[in-house]
Structure formats: C-alpha cells, structure tokens
Amino acid sequence: MRATFSCAIVAAAQADPRVVLLTGDHGYALFDDFRRAVPHQFINAGVSEQNMVGVAAGLAKAGFCPIVYGLSAFVPVRVLEQIKLDVCYEQLPVVFIGDGAGVVYSTLGGSHQSLEDIAVLRALPNIDILSPADAWEMHYAMTHALRSKRPAYVRMGKADLGDVHQQPVSAPIGALLELRPQVKDDVAFIATGSLVRTALALSDSVRGASVWSVPSIVPICRVQVESIGRAAKTLVVLEEHSAAAGLGSLIAEITSEMTDIRPRVVRLGADARFSEYCGSYQYLLKEHRIDLESLRVRLAEKGIDCDY
C-alpha cells in the first residue's frame, strides 16, 4: 500500500509541476523516490505541523497542489484547527495523508496512536475522508484525492496486510465495494481499512454473510447503504478506530432514517479509551478487542453465531 502511495505521488508530481509534497519531518525512506525524481517539489517543514498546513493553504491559493504528509496522530489530530479554518473554510484542494492510523504505532504509546481521526474530520464541512484497505484501494483513493478540487484526507495504516482485491477498483467515489456476495439475509459485514481482511475472515464463520469494503467514508453512497440494510437483518461494522463517531456511527445514522425497515447495526471498533500498555501491533489489537479472536467473541456476545 505504501509503495502504491509513493508511486502515485511521484507520477502526479512528474506530470504536474504544481504538485508539492510537504512533510513534518517524517517519512524519509518513503520519499526517496520522490526526492530523486522531483527534488524541488519536496518541502520538509520540520516539526511544525500546524505551520505546515498554513503553508500548504497558501500554496493552494497560489495555484499549487499540495500534499501534506504526517502521522495520523498529528495530521489531522494536531492540526485540526488549521485544517478547519485554513483549508476547509476556504475549500482549498489540499490532500492530507495520515500515516500509521489506528494502533499500528503500538510501541510509541497514546501520543502516536490514532483512533479518533475519522471522528474529528467527520464533523468538518468540505473534506473527503478516504480509508483504503489495500494497494488497489490506495490507488483508487489517491486518484480521487489528486483529481479533486476540494480537501481530502487519506487514512493509511502502516502495516501492510495484503490485498483484498484482485484487480483495480473502478467504482465511483463513495461506493461500497462488494467482496463477498450475500447468500442468506442475516448478516452483512461492512468494514474499512485494516479490518476489511478481518471481516473476510469472520465471514468464513458466519455462513451466508456478505462483506463490503468502504474505502470512501465521506462521501458515501447512502442509497447503497440503505439497500444493503434492506437485504440484511444485521449490519456488522468493523474499523480500527473508535466505535464513537466513526464508520459504524455513520452507518447507524444513515439506517436510522430509513422509513421502511431498520436493520440492526452492530458497531465493532475500539472502546473510547487510551491504550493501557505498549506492545506489538497484534497485542494492541487484542487489548482493544479488535483482533480476529476478540471480534469472534464480541459477535457471540451480540448473539451472532460464529462456527469456528
């Protein structure tokens, strides 16, 4: 996924000299190819993320196409006010990249873990929120973000968990991508980012369940969400993010307004708390009860049988 991101920004910068990459003193090896190809379009703004967003906003007003990179704990969380006022209020075409989303920076503690980035941005007007699950979805997300005339945030997990697609994603932006068709009308799994692969694994234990990936949280096709809600009695939403105000909350908000039928929405994200301990990525997933085995237990607690 990270290699796909690197290729996308290098190609964009080579094709358009207005494309400028700004980093807050992060991502050195990731940007080796970019600096070799277009060194004059690379700016290391240093450990001054808030100032970096202001610089990016000024570049956008001057006709440039800025890409702002940082760890998701800092971009967008540390720079939320600057994103709100400098970029979203002005509706400037700035692309924000939040790397290491979720708890993948497990050994660095709460300061570097990010389980609230979707939540804080969902409340802002004029910004797209993209959360790719694999390299194919990253290409899809970056293509949209780089072509868009409005702000966009791309949420990237540092762990490369492998592909969930076998070919390029060609759906319109906002579409939910069907990975496993529904056989029975009981359960549909809806997941984003790193937990899409987990949703596929869980669906092996819940017979007849469909699986949907959500690479675009804002915008999202509400009509499609409603259609999935009519086809399944229960929607299980998985995300490496707080269960509060993330994708699960968005799905619940949409389905709550359905007038013909209202499916049950089970939101399986992290609880609203900080990590208690540091450890490996797999350990942190387990601590927050969003690893595969914990999710199976949580499904059983919700009355959803898993045959395993």
> Per the structure block, which two tokens stand in for 203?
């669906």
Domains of the chain: 2-156 (3.40.50.970), 177-301 (3.40.50.920)
**In this structure, are strands 128-130 and 216-218 parallel, antiparallel, or unpaired?**
antiparallel
- Helix (H) / strand (E) containing 249: helix 247-256
The candidate with the shortest Cα–Cα distance to 116, out of 240, 237, 241, is 241
* SS3 label, residue 211: strand
- Round to whole Å and give the CA distance between 123 and 211: 27
Question: What is the value of pTM for the model shown?
Answer: 0.97
pLDDT of 308 over the 60 cut: no
Q: What is the pLDDT of residues 135-175, one digit of tens each?
A: 999 999 999 999 999 999 999 987 778 899 999 999 999 99
Residue 174 and residue 219 in contact, taking contact as beta carbons nearer than 8 Å: yes
- Residue 19 forms beta bridges with which residues? 65
Q: What is the pLDDT of residues 21-67, one digit of tens each?
A: 999 998 889 999 999 999 999 999 999 999 999 999 999 999 999 99
* SS3 label, residue 246: coil
Share of the chain above pLDDT 90, in %: 93
- pLDDT score at 211: 98
SS3 string, 122-190, reads HCCCCCEEECCCCHHHHHHHHHHHHHCCCCEEEEECCCCCCCCCCCCCCCCCCCCEEEECCCCCCEEEE
Residue 228 and residue 212 in contact, taking contact as beta carbons nearer than 8 Å: yes
> Per the structure block, which two tokens stand in for 220?
């999202």
Edge-to-edge strand ranges of the sheet holding 187-191: 177-180, 210-213, 187-191, 234-242, 264-270
